[in-house]
Chain A
Amino acid sequence: MTNNAMNQEPKERIGVHVCHCGSNIAGMVDVEEVARWAGEQLKDRGVVIARDYKFMCSSLGQELIEKDIQEEGLTRVVVAACSPHLHENTFRTACSRAGLNPYLCELVSIREQVSWVHTDRAAATEKSKAVVSGGVERVLYSEPLEPLHVPIHPATLVVGGGIAGIQAALEIADAGFPVILVEREPSIGGHMSQFDKTFPTLDCAACILTPKMVSVGGHPNIQMFTWSEVEKVDGYVGNFTVTIRKKARFVNEELCTGCAICQEKCPKKVIDEVYEAGLGYRKAIYTPFPQAVPKYPVIDKPNCTYFQKGTCKACQKFCPTGAIDFEQQDEWITVQVGNIVLATGYDLFDPRKVTQYGYGRLANVFTSLEFERLTNAAGPTNGNIVLRDGVTVPKTVGIIHCVGSRDRNFNNYCSVICCMQSLKFAHLVHERTGATVYNFYIDMRTAYKEYDEFYQRVLEEGTLFVRGKVAEVTDAARLPGEEGKLIVQVEDTLAGKQRRIPVDMVVLSAAMVPRKDAKEVAHKFGISCNANGWFIEKHPKLDPVATMTEGIFIAGCVQGPKDIPSSVAQGAAAAARVLGRIQQGEIALEPVRASVDQDKCSGCRICNNLCPFNAIIFHEDRMVTEINAALCQGCGTCVAACPAGAISGTVFSNEQIFAQIEGLMRVNFFTEPQSAVA
């Protein structure tokens, strides 16, 4: 019961085209020899022409392939060159120009997998022959395929109303296409709405953000669902069906005028853990901040006296328009969209995890977001930088960088913004209190426009910089002058000594981390996260806002830590990609797909939960599984998992893979151990 690929008579006319890639390949592989060998030794496998050329991907190289197809009547082409990631498309397109179905062209890598990783020319040449032979065997089993054309619905879903999502929504809506914006919180705005000033220009965050929020709120092409979440996503690029859960606000949006009398009259004060970062209060009926968009408040049911105890209804009594509706229920709304932009942002790292810094234990240790609220004129202290007691102005402040970032115990990555945000804090402390400021940093990272200039400015203002990772923040005084202070214990690596620096206030510049529910959100939308939980872009350099799932784009901090300008740029970039799609009207999908042989599928349901793109459907009535061809991205996960061998993937069929292995063996001088039959 073995694969007998090699015993098959060749019916195809195969061309082998070996590339020098300048000296990239030819420097380590005798490419002429590889071509000569293929022409002679693989003749019995159907190779009718084999040649080498300096740059196969150049237009002359491509023309060579086209000419061979036409003149030699080639029915299959094997190109031995670089990685398929780079030029598969180039050579497939060349074949298609010459009238050969592009999927009958196989690109095998003798650069990344051979010349770049070997140092022995003779062995590298032999391995190249093996790789070519594998490609030849494999291509015999390739089938002509046609791309799938699907129409694009003109509406777009944007998930997350932070600055990145706002930008994306506005760009698309301004271009004249409908946008549905879903935000989990009662208002759009995201983290930026919590800040007072933004580095490096120190613009007032609200001044630049609120006009955009207002534009979103009033835009004729934007339908906004706040206090809402996406519950389910079905379908595929061009044709997503999205179910949105609109949580009950208990406020009738038709009637509410946003007068805020209810908020004033509500007797129930609640610590605001989201917007005020736990530093301030809000009411049980609230808008997170006065400029909230939309203006309608929500009732926080678990904290509302009426909902918990059955009496109160103060808000209802005082509401001049009778907008309060305690009977309101959650609503489920289904919308059709063609594309989706995910801009769900980030969470702040919980610095309690770095126990030695004392957050949560030592009152005057603050997180960066708490500090943002302290500096905010509309915040709990009206912008006064004071200690936890609410009145004392600190005389010395220590700001610790990289809390939870660039730390093997927590996150290896750099959170990008913390250095600049710490410098912003140093400046604000100086400006508002005249206190002495220490910044404890490992490396100062102030790349990008006008960032280093800002650093110079803060240096000149007299902030003291200590280079070293803080070992501990403690209130245990040991030396004179430490009494009643927080002592920052640090190795000053520039001075080469241990220091104990007493301060009144410590600010922890905590890492940006993926949203708590990032993995579930990614799964819901059929995209992938990296090990940390940041959403993965299609290509880190060349395709930063697309994902491996067609029709799903990402923007802002959901993709990784970044500042506001980059978040905005990504929002705009995602919008541009979406607009391009809408303009095309339809999209051609790669026909690299898996499919289920319904006769072989036993309905064991092993594969049912595996597809990262939610392409697998189970038909309960017939007990068989099916794959939605438009959703399937050909990742192969289910193909590998199906124990019945009922799923096969085009381009990666069992026959192709086993044939390729046999082809490789042909040169590897593999022999079965003799002892087997001794």
Chain B
Amino acid sequence: MTTQSPSTNGKPKFAMYWAASCGGCEIAVLNIGEKILDVDANFEVAFWPVAMDAKYKDVEAMPDGSILLTLFNGGIRNSENEEIAKLLRRKSQILVAFGSCASEGCIPGLANLSSSNQILDTVYSTVSTDNPQGIRPQHKYAMPEGEIQIPKFYPVLRTLDQVVPVDYYMPGCPPESHQIAAVIDLVIKVLHGEAQLPPKGAVIGAGGSTVCDDCPRKRNVKLIKKFVRIQDLEHIDPELCLLEQGIPCNGPATRSGCGALCPQASAQCIGCYGPADGVVDYGARLVAAFASVIDSNDPEEIEHILDGIPDPTGQFYRFNLAGSLLRAARPAWEG
């Protein structure tokens, strides 16, 4: 890779941005410990609103392609998110969809089940909100001094690659610190000509298999008679696969990379590392997989077993709704 990086101190530029996200990804980056010093040693931080003051117009003023690496976290929920995504795409040589929100929508993407009005109702008009005048945010507002604007709220949250072309994806909610460190190491090696970047479109900072592959729990042929919530179980067998104990573990469809943290702590994998390689629709895959191993032919019993999963969207699409084939439910599409 050739990198011309017009930079005051000769170091290539680095940027990180947050769109619709919780901030966990930023914390995860800061959490990499002394590795952060390597970032500082090898990069000039050009734009990172969480860590330092910066203005959008400064970024606009940079020549196109002048930022070497941008880690973009968060989904595209409003016009500001979209504008900055497009801006950073233009300015960056390598744009990484960083974390689950940017890659596949994550928790903010679950709002794609509801229309914008339903969302605003929940935020501004429920009993827990003290809003006697029923004030709602307006995109434009006429003030005596003139019209002011806030970013426009879109009806549907989109993943980064649904808005701009993305070079790499880094899954995780948030990505594990050791994986971030490994990716930074790799980029630095590439800078020094010691390594090659993976092909465009690749998933980085994760494994090629699934969480089950890293999970030490013992498995048998799967035959499921019930689904239970983990908190409703008195005793969890510490050795046996959770799914076989009726705990709906998403490990079988989830990309490896975290080291199977949750099942090792006796909690089911909820799927934060996103779909495994070759899985096009994460939730549909899991639905098919779970349904295939239900051990009954009696429609009523099957119905009863399925009642053990009271929130199927939350179970199967917690992280992947915006990135799924359907992307959003009808009320959201209808605005």
Contact = CB atoms under 8 A, between A and B. Distances in A.
The answer to whether A and B come from one shared complex is yes
Given A641-B289, A643-B253, A645-B285, A658 B155 contact: no
B278 A609 contact: no
Nearest to A661: B325
Interface stretch (A147-155, A234-242, A595-603): A595-603
Interface string B155-178: 110100100000001000000000
A1 B161 contact: yes
Interface in A621-678: 637, 640-646, 648, 654, 658, 673, 675-678
Contact of B212 (A604, A607, A608): A604
A605 interface: yes
Nearest to A645: B278
A294 B333 CA distance: 74
A643 B280 contact: no
A25 B292 CA distance: 39
Contacts of A644: 209-210, 212, 252-253, 276, 278-279
A3 interface: yes
A376 B86 CA distance: 91
A161 B114 CA distance: 64
A60 interface: no
Task: With a 10 A CB-CB cut-off, give which of A601, A642, A643, A645 has the most chain B CB atoms.
Answer: A643
B108 interface: no
Interface in B274-333: 275-280, 285-286, 288-289, 292-293, 323, 327-328, 333
A676 B158 contact: yes
Contacts of A607: 292
A459 interface: no
A675 B221 CA distance: 46
Given A603-B219, A643-B285, A673 B333 contact: yes
A122 interface: no
B335 A675 contact: yes
Interface string B254-285: 00100000000000000000011111100001
13 contacts: A3-B280, A600-B210, A602-B251, A605-B221, A605-B241, A606-B252, A606-B289, A610-B293, A618-B221, A637-B292, A643-B289, A644-B253, A645-B275
Contacts of B213: 602-603
Q: Top 7 closest A-B pairs, CB basis?
A: A645-B278, A643-B253, A602-B213, A602-B212, A643-B289, A641-B292, A643-B252
Contacts of A640: 288, 292
Given A609-B223, A646-B278, A675-B335, A600 B208 contact: yes
Interface size class of A (residues with CB under 8 A): 20 to 34
B220 interface: yes
A645 B219 contact: no
Nearest to A657: B280
B234 interface: no
Given A600-B277, A654-B280, A643 B221 contact: no
Interface of A: 1, 3, 597, 599-610, 618, 637, 640-646, 648, 654, 658, 673, 675-678
A600 B223 contact: no
B140 interface: no
Interface in B207-228: 208-213, 219-223
B260 to A, nearest CB: 10
B222 A606 contact: yes
Contacts of A637: 292
A602 B323 contact: no
Given A600-B208, A609-B221, A675-B333, A645 B279 contact: yes
Nearest to B76: A677
B221 A608 contact: yes
Contacts of A654: 278, 280
Nearest to B103: A1
Contacts of A675: 155-156, 333-335
B252 A604 contact: yes
A177 to B, nearest CB: 37
B154 interface: yes
Given A1-B169, A677-B154, A605 B292 contact: no
A609 B222 contact: yes
Task: With a 10 A CB-CB cut-off, give which of B103, B253, B323 has the most chain A CB atoms.
Answer: B253
Contacts of A603: 212-213, 219
A675 B117 CA distance: 14
Chain A, interface SS category: loop
A135 to B, nearest CB: 21
Contacts of B155: 675-676, 678
Contacts of B221: 605, 608-609, 618
Interface of B: 103-104, 154-156, 158, 161, 169, 208-213, 219-223, 241, 243, 251-253, 256, 275-280, 285-286, 288-289, 292-293, 323, 327-328, 333-335
A656 to B, nearest CB: 13
A612 to B, nearest CB: 12
A604 B210 contact: yes
A678 B208 contact: no
Nearest to B163: A677
A605 B222 contact: yes
A292 B67 CA distance: 91
A67 B46 CA distance: 64
Nearest to B292: A641
Given A1-B169, A675-B334, A676-B333, A642 B277 contact: no
Contacts of B211: 602
Contacts of B276: 600, 643-645
B292 A600 contact: no
A654 B161 CA distance: 21
A645 B288 CA distance: 11
A675 B327 CA distance: 13
A610 to B, nearest CB: 5
B118 to A, nearest CB: 15
A71 B290 CA distance: 51
A504 B253 CA distance: 68
Contacts of B169: 1
Nearest to A3: B280
B252 A610 contact: no
Contacts of B333: 673, 675-676
Given A1-B275, A673-B333, 14 more contacts: A602-B211, A603-B212, A604-B251, A605-B219, A605-B220, A605-B221, A606-B293, A609-B293, A643-B210, A643-B279, A644-B278, A645-B278, A645-B285, A676-B158
A607 B293 CA distance: 8
A599 B222 contact: no
Contacts of A602: 209-213, 251-252, 256
Nearest to B223: A609
Contacts of B243: 604
Contacts of B285: 642-643, 645
Contacts of A599: 208-209
Nearest to A658: B280
Contacts of A677: 154, 158
Task: With a 10 A CB-CB cut-off, give which of A603, A605, A648 has the most chain B CB atoms.
Answer: A605
Contacts of B158: 676-677
B312 to A, nearest CB: 15
Contacts of B241: 604-605
A471 B211 CA distance: 62
A643 B277 CA distance: 10
Contacts of B275: 1, 645
A604 B279 contact: no
A673 B210 CA distance: 34
A605 B215 CA distance: 13
A159 B75 CA distance: 62
A147 B66 CA distance: 55
A606 B209 contact: no
A520 to B, nearest CB: 12
Given A609-B223, A675-B333, A675-B334, A642 B289 contact: yes
Nearest to B335: A675
Contacts of B209: 599-602, 644
Nearest to A616: B221
